[in-house]
């Protein structure tokens, strides 16, 4: 079984049929702007203090445990949601991305897989959105 790491491989872009392909130059620019840049962020992570979404918040970090809470969150300012998969138990249920409807200005969803797992295993557990929001998957497995 092969494992991927962000240090060794490009970020993958999911399309509507849950197929994966390498991110293009345009996709890399999107990631640079929304995922890797210094923009105002809110945090809904189990391991960190929770922060609120404000009118200036552009990026929202959350782990799988907080996906359900997004049903009640709505914001016109959010442009990227970063979902962190922190352990294999996070993949015991399918990871839904229906929350994208709550953020009308959402440009992309970045799923950061921080456990060692194969691409085929993770693809089985991620539901791609039914609307036109680019969904990226980055493997950041520990060495």
Looking at residue 8, its pLDDT comes to: 35
Question: 60 pLDDT exceeds 90?
Answer: yes
Q: Select, from the ranges 3-7, 41-45, 92-96, the one with the highest average predicted confidence (pLDDT).
A: 41-45
Beta pairing class for 59-63 and 41-44? parallel
Q: What is the DSSP letter of 46?
A: T
Question: 93 pLDDT exceeds 60?
Answer: yes
The average pLDDT across 54-80 equals: 89
What pLDDT, in 10s, does the model give residues 118-139? 877 877 888 766 667 888 888 7
- Report the percentage of the chain scoring pLDDT > 90: 19
């Amino acid at each position: 079984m092969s494992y991927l790491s962000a240090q060794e491989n490009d970020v993958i872009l999911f399309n509507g049929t849950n197929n994966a392909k390498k991110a293009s130059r345009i996709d890399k620019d999107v990631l640079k702007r929304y995922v890797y840049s210094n923009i105002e962020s809110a945090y809904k992570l189990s391991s960190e203090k929770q922060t609120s979404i404000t009118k200036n918040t552009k990026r929202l970090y959350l782990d799988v445990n907080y996906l359900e809470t997004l049903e009640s969150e709505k914001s016109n300012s959010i442009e990227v949601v970063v979902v962190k998969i922190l352990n294999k138990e996070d993949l015991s249920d399918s990871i839904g991305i229906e929350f994208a409807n709550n953020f009308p200005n959402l440009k992309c969803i970045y799923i950061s897989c921080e456990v060692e797992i194969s691409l085929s295993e993770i693809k089985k557990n991620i539901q791609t959105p039914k609307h036109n929001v680019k969904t990226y998957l980055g493997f950041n497995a520990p060495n």
